[in-house]
Structure 1
Amino acid sequence: MQLLGKGGFGEVYLAQHNQTKNFVALKVMLPAVAANDWAIQMFLRETENTKALRHPHVVKLLDYGYSESIFFFTMEYCEGGTVEDLMRRQGGRLLVDIAIPIIFQVLNGLEYAHNAEIPNVKLGNGGFGKGRGLVHRDLKPSNIFL
């Protein structure tokens, strides 16, 4: 497996699905994070909610689980890389003609996610139920996939 990236909660690897042979992005929770019960519950709730999103401009979460003390999820692999990768190849900036179509697609995906029906949100009364909308919370060029 090839390491694609690392963040505060986990590492992302390029992996190949055993049955379909398709490439996927496999994100595994860091062991230090997995030791925290609150982080595990947040991870499980967010993956379940993200799995409900189906839109051409939102990376599809395929599956998630727990195996050998490791929490993980798989997402569709975007072989075009990230906007950060593209910016690096273009000398640090994008031409307006390149940036605007990307921005419109990002906004389209965000609008969908902000208004989508979500199956498992924490309600004001402390319980859980259906809700509407997810917020990305970490939108940056390295998290926008082409």
Structure 2
Amino acid sequence: MDAVDYSQPMLDVLEKLDLYNKKICAALGSGRKIPGIEDESYDVVTISGGFFQAHLPIDSLEEVVRVLKPGGYFFNAMTKYYLESVDSLHGLEPLMRQMETDGKWLMRARLVQDHVIGREQGLFHVFQKL
């Protein structure tokens, strides 16, 4: 594989790596649906580093649930510090719990791990769609 220039826009990098059959760039949150993705079409959805200041809004979790097949898994990896320091993320875990109460999914794991990025703790969530 050729060396990748990571100063390029990330979709260009993704295209050059040729790892995926389908690449989509779409805004999430505020009830927006990802174009071209049918309901209940994915076995797994992952978000890594998406919940950060001015990145994904927490209501994008509704789109995660929409595209997951029943029994499918959602994996989230983030820096724990952002839950406390970014105002727009204060409601992330309460929303996750409310979605569980509403019968959309079941939390399978919540893990905090030290020194994931330097001295920062990593936070990992695993949910299974009902």
TM-score of the pair, normalised by structure 2: 0.31
Structure with more relative contact order (C-alpha pairs < 8 Å, separation 6 or more): 2
The structure richer in helix per residue is: 1
TM-score of the pair, normalised by structure 1: 0.29
